[in-house]
């Protein structure tokens, strides 16, 4: 039971205040992405109505998702320009004037743009040029993979696994089934996977970290649902059921947090065995999220495996002569202990120091809030030194390119 309790306690800091919710994606921040809509394109059946057809020429808006944020860009005279942060995975969803879904950008078989290893770093411009619709896929005349986005075919194969996440986003545009996209009515819900892993003992100064072997890395799974102001529950009668073809009987709610500043909430669910020692994975499928016993939302869950984007962030504590932790050096490797390039996997990073009762003593960085973001993932300097004798463990949290959460638990040496 101790292992489960350990990970239930660490989720309380994840409450976010991060949505852009901008009506103008061309805000001048981040990597510029632009494209052109031709005057004609092959028609396709609309997902919204059996009686109507839509073509890409009907597109009037581009809904841009990156991590847990989104913005809306208007298509003007057949062209659009938007921006997204470097290091994120970006989905472009094309909508008509009534915000009906037409299709989403697809490059090299991926339903997103991974803004990593860019040819000109922050100054890179992704010009998709002319766009064409095939089925639900919006295909660019200029594929930036291999040019502006300098990744290998092996990377592409890995990133394709994120496609199911963006497919789920497309299905989750209207979770309460009222015909109005949730993003435009303040009722949006975001769904992420949570992976909790005990890794070993951190290093300290000249003492090397001690990691468990790859076959002993046990993943505890969870689901996080983040909602905004117009879906705030009035009480804690909150549940998650599913998947609809074979519903689980062991889903429990672990924690609920509300943040007044952003008028948003986080709620976490897990599947627990009878002994409570492990949190089991959730299958891909359709779930029902209920609040107050009356608000029922249909949610598509993508269930991306932890193995694809799991990195071991291996810490070494650097101390001064007074017994204070002043910085943390972090090396990154795959579970098989081979070296990893974290920029291809990680969007945000946070360190949380805790005492023996799992109470937070100090935090550096953030994984969802847009403030206090760490500039350097390899050498984290603490704003305020922390007394080593007060610390029992270190939790390193990071988000992958689409916002799934990885919590790595390290005991102190």
pLDDT digits (tens, 9 = 90+) for 101-156: 888 899 998 888 999 989 998 899 999 999 999 988 899 999 999 999 999 888 88
pLDDT at 19: 44
Higher pLDDT residue, 409 or 262?
409
Bridge-partner residues for 87, per DSSP? none
pLDDT at 65: 81
pLDDT at 397: 96
pLDDT at 395: 97
% pLDDT > 70, the chain? 82
Q: Does pLDDT of 46 surpass 60? A: no
Measured between alpha carbons, how far is residue 318 from residues 218, 359, 381, 411 in Å? 28, 22, 9, 15
Residue with tokens 């913005």: 71
pLDDT at 25: 42
Phi/psi for 234 (5° steps) reads -85, -20
Averaging pLDDT over each range in 96-105, 230-239, 387-396, which range is the top one?
387-396
Q: Does pLDDT of 236 surpass 90? A: no
Residues 218-228, mean pLDDT to the nearest whole number: 91
Measured between alpha carbons, how far is residue 282 from residues 53, 63, 193, 248, 358 in Å? 36, 28, 9, 9, 26
Residues 346-368, mean pLDDT to the nearest whole number: 92
Confidence band for 38, pLDDT divided at 50, 70 and 90: confident
pLDDT at 166: 64
Q: Does pLDDT of 1 surpass 80? A: no
pLDDT at 3: 35
Residues 160-179, mean pLDDT to the nearest whole number: 67
Higher pLDDT residue, 309 or 58?
58
Q: Does pLDDT of 375 surpass 90? A: no
Q: Does pLDDT of 319 surpass 50? A: yes
Measured between alpha carbons, how far is residue 95 from residues 2, 51, 71, 74 in Å? 48, 17, 13, 10
State the DSSP code for 38.
-
- The torsion angle over the Cα atoms of residues 236, 242, 248 and 250, rounded to 10 degrees, is -20
pLDDT at 169: 63
Higher pLDDT residue, 377 or 272?
377
Asked whether 53 and 43 are in contact (CB, 8 A), the reply is: yes
Question: Model confidence over 267-280: pLDDT tens digits?
Answer: 999 998 766 668 99
Averaging pLDDT over each range in 22-31, 282-291, 368-377, which range is the top one?
282-291
Confidence band for 208, pLDDT divided at 50, 70 and 90: very high
What tokens appear for 193 in the block? Answer: 């996977």
Confidence band for 259, pLDDT divided at 50, 70 and 90: confident
Residues 69-76, mean pLDDT to the nearest whole number: 87
pLDDT at 5: 31
State the DSSP code for 179.
S
% pLDDT > 90, the chain? 46
Residues 324-337, mean pLDDT to the nearest whole number: 94
Per the prediction, the chain carries an average pLDDT of 83
Residues 381-391, mean pLDDT to the nearest whole number: 96
Task: Tell me which long-range contacts 231-234 makes (C-beta under 8 A, separation of at least 24).
Answer: 231/176, 231/186, 231/187, 231/188, 231/189, 231/291, 231/295, 231/297, 232/258, 232/263, 232/265, 233/265, 233/291, 233/292, 233/295, 234/292
């Amino acid at each position: 039971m101790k292992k489960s309790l350990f990970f239930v306690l660490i989720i309380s800091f994840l409450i976010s205040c991060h949505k852009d919710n901008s009506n103008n994606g061309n805000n001048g921040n981040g990597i510029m992405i632009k494209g052109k809509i031709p005057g004609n394109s092959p028609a396709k059946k609309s997902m919204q109505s059996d009686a109507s057809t839509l073509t890409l020429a009907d597109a009037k808006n581009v809904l841009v998702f990156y991590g847990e944020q989104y913005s809306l860009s208007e298509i003007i005279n057949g062209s659009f320009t938007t921006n997204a942060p470097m290091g994120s995975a970006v989905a472009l969803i094309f909508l008509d004037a009534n915000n009906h879904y037409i299709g989403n950008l697809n490059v090299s078989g991926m339903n997103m743009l991974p803004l990593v290893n860019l040819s000109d770093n922050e100054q890179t411009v992704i010009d998709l040029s002319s766009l064409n619709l095939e089925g639900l896929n919006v295909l660019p005349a200029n594929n930036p993979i291999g040019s502006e986005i300098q990744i290998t075919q092996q990377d592409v194969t890995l990133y394709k696994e994120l496609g199911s996440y963006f497919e789920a986003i497309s299905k989750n545009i209207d979770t309460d089934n009222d015909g109005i996209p949730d993003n435009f009515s303040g009722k949006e819900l975001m769904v992420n996977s949570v992976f909790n892993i005990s890794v070993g003992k951190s290093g300290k100064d000249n003492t090397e970290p001690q990691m468990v072997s790859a076959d002993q890395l046990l993943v505890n799974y969870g689901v996080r649902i983040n909602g905004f102001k117009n879906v705030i529950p009035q009480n804690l009668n909150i549940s998650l059921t599913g998947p609809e073809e074979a519903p689980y009987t062991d889903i429990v709610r672990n924690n609920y947090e509300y943040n007044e500043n952003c008028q948003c909430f986080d709620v976490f669910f897990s599947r627990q065995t009878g002994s409570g020692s492990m949190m089991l994975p959730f299958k891909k499928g359709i779930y029902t999220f209920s609040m107050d016993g009356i608000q029922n939302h249909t949610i598509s869950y993508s269930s991306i495996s932890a193995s694809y984007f799991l990195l071991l962030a291996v810490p070494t504590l650097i101390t001064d002569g007074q017994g204070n932790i002043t910085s943390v050096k972090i090396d990154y490797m795959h579970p098989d202990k081979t070296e990893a390039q974290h920029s291809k996997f990680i969007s945000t990073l946070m360190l949380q120091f805790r005492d023996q009762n799992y109470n937070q003593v100090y935090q550096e960085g953030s994984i969802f809030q847009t403030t206090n973001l760490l500039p350097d993932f390899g050498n984290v300097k603490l704003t305020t030194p922390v007394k080593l004798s007060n610390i029992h463990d270190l939790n390193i949290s990071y988000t992958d390119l689409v916002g799934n959460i990885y919590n790595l638990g390290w005991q102190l040496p």
